[in-house]
Amino acid sequence: MTRLYNFCAGPAALPTAVLERAQQEILSYQGKGLSVMEMSHRSKDFVAIAEQAEQDLRDLMNIPDNYKVLFMQGGASSQFTMLPMNMLRGKTAADYINTGDWSKKAIAEAKRYCDVNVAATMEGNNFTSVPTQSELNLNADAAYVHYTPNETIRGVEFDYVPETNGVPLIADYSSSILSEEIDISKYGIVYAGAQKNIGPAGLCIVIVREDLLGQALPETPSMFNYQIFADNGSMYNTPPTYSWYLAGLVFQWLKEQGGVNAIAEINQRKASKLYDFIDSNDFYSNPVDKAYRSTMNVPFILKNADLDKQFLAESEAAGLLNLAGHRSVGGMRASIYNAVPEAAVDALIAFMDKFAQVNK
Ligand code: PMP
């Protein structure tokens, strides 16, 4: 079976080796006579899978012992609601940095629960950069500061971790978790939907500092309460067991690749090549400030938008899938997560080069 190069922003490419392993085990997990999908989440075998996945993630990300790792559901979007419910801790205001579409969604949900102070917004420059530390208008009395280290749609990425002077920092790492090293100790919470660098959709990983737990708003539903998830090993209800298992296989694969630093080096190379190519001609362009271009999501536009449809049809025919930009912004976007091999980027550049020659 041929596997083509998939540049989808999410659900995104998974490592072929992971899918092959899942295929081998799909009917009978390690000779047990049943699929992981058919196991009780409380069975010895599944609990071992779940614990191993957590341990591998802790190893990969160097997660300190005073952080809980929660395997939740509802995607990153549900976190937009869970964060204020769990993290206000008696306060009434929170700071949000607005660097794009996902920041805005997080802000909109938080406004239902607290006063949102937008500490900086990049809307004025059409989200083509991020604010500097000195541009952040932080409120010392905020319950937390929320930001989006990598904005998936417009491809804008922070090159620094905001300093919040003791106020817990919360980061939506959905599209860049595991792509490079993160110093977890700088954060109150790091969270990420799974369907980019972690595994299939259906899981959301929440890494939370223990001392922040236990102060959820009284009306918080049990399924949205971090403390309840922490107390129950993320098995308060039936978790998405197969997604959890596949995430575990992805973590093992990443360890085999040499871990986060090793993949980060490849990621840098992939992104640099593609941006260098885009910058090297006037047929393609990317509007983002060079200092803040995303390593994972590379949006670009063609000089002549009338060629967009043709570009997408021909790239697909050439085995380069899912290059359309997000429906809200149009243009093109190549998402080049961990599981997208460097050869995919080389093939994309070769295609783009040829397309530009023929159509200029
Ligand atoms: N945050 C970011 C940065 C994202 O890229 C996405 C999805 N692309 C979300 C949040 C929403 O994730 P979900 O669809 O899992 O709710």
What string of pLDDT tens digits covers the 360 residues of the chain?
A: 799 999 999 999 999 999 999 999 999 999 999 999 999 999 999 999 999 999 999 999 999 999 999 999 999 999 999 999 999 999 999 999 999 999 999 999 999 999 999 999 999 999 999 999 999 999 999 999 999 999 999 999 999 999 999 999 999 999 999 999 999 999 999 999 999 999 999 999 999 999 999 999 999 999 999 999 999 999 999 999 999 999 999 999 999 999 999 999 999 999 999 999 999 999 999 999 999 999 999 999 999 999 999 999 999 999 999 999 998 888 999 999 999 999 999 999 999 999 999 998
Ligand 1 and 252: CB distance under 6 A = no
The Cβ-side half-sphere exposure at 342, using a 13 Å CA radius, reads 10
| Candidate list 172, 244, 253, 270, residue with the active-site label | 172
Residue 42: CB atoms within 10 Å: 10
Domain ranges within the chain, ordered by starting residue: 18-256, 259-359
Q: What is the pLDDT of residue 243?
A: 98
- The preferred substitution site among 101, 152, 294 for testing ligand 1, maximizing ligand atoms within 8 Å of CB, is 152
Annotated catalytic, 253?
no
Q: What is the pLDDT of residue 181?
A: 98
Single-letter code of the amino acid located at 304: N
CATH 3.40.50.150 fits 259-359, yes or no: no
Inter-residue contact 218 to 166 (CB < 8 Å): no
Annotated catalytic, 102?
yes
Ligand 1 and 149: CB distance under 6 A = no
| Candidate list 68, 196, 244, 270, residue with the active-site label | 196
- CA separation for the pair 85, 274 (Å, rounded): 41
Ligand 1 and 75: CB distance under 6 A = yes
Q: What is the pLDDT of residue 1?
A: 76
Ligand 1 and 122: CB distance under 6 A = no
Token pair, residue 51, equals: 């614990």
Inter-residue contact 174 to 151 (CB < 8 Å): no
Q: What is the pLDDT of residue 327?
A: 87
Q: Supply the pTM of this predicted model.
A: 0.98
Ligand 1 and 100: CB distance under 6 A = no
Taking alpha carbons only, the member of 85, 141, 140 closest to residue 114 is 85
Annotated catalytic, 196?
yes
Q: Report CA(172)–ligand 1 centroid distance (Å).
A: 8
- Ligand 1: residue whose CA is nearest its atom 9: 76
Q: What is the pLDDT of residue 355?
A: 98
Q: Report CA(327)–ligand 1 centroid distance (Å).
A: 14
CB under 8 Å to 242, separation ≥6 — which residues? Answer: 36, 37, 200, 202
Task: Check for a shared fold between 18-256 and 259-359.
Answer: no
CATH number of the 18-256 domain: 3.40.640.10
Q: Report CA(155)–ligand 1 centroid distance (Å).
A: 13
